[in-house]
Structure 1
Amino acid sequence: MRITVRVPDDLGDTVKSTTENVSAYVTEALREKIARDRCREARQNILDGIRDHEGPGAEGGAEGQLHEERRESDWAR
């Protein structure tokens, strides 16, 4: 499928100088972004379920572990 997008000149120049196959590069980047978004959404759904089950203000346990994982995951980007 062909999709036309506009990106800032500096970003386009960087991509072109980084790879010979811009389509493959962008495809990989999009797949990674979609996977991160899905993981983030799944973690949020888990946290929401824990809050619904344990009530507001519940700390520690699985919720604390998920918050820590989220901080580490977000920092790694």
Structure 2
Amino acid sequence: MSMRITVRVPDDLGDIVKATTDNVSAYVTEALREKIARDRRRKARQNILDGIRDYEGPGVQEGAEEQLHGERRDSYRTRS
């Protein structure tokens, strides 16, 4: 299933996209997936860093490694 979304982009950016690909929808979809994955990874890293700053015990905060692995798995899923 797909959704139609209308967006406005600067003319120069639109010209570059149209010159780069024959399938603007697929191109923009891939770009959005990559951006969303990047944002999720950035947020996960920040959450982990915030947790580490608040943690007063020895070693890495419990669950930090699992959270990173979960974000990586989710990131790979958004690329498909």
Same fold by TM-score, threshold 0.5 exceeded?
yes
Aligned alpha-carbon RMSD (Å):
1.7
Q: Provide the rounded CA distance (Å) in 2 between the counterparts of 1:46 and 1:32.
A: 21
SS of the equivalent of 1:46 reads: helix
SS of the equivalent of 1:4 reads: coil
1:69: which partner in 2? none
Give the aligned length.
Answer: 57
In the superposition, the TM-score normalised over structure 1's length comes to 0.70
In the superposition, the TM-score normalised over structure 2's length comes to 0.67
What is the percent sequence identity of the aligned residues?
Answer: 88
Alignment match of 2:47 (pick from 45, 48, 51)? 45
Does the alignment pair 1:22 with 2:20? no
Q: How much has 1:28 moved relative to structure 2?
A: 0.0
Deviations 1:3-51 (A, max 9, x none): 0000000000000000000000000000000000000000000000000
Structure 2: gaps spanning 5 or more residues: 61-80
Q: Considering fraction of residues, name the structure with more helix.
A: 1
- Deviation >4 Å, runs of 4+: none
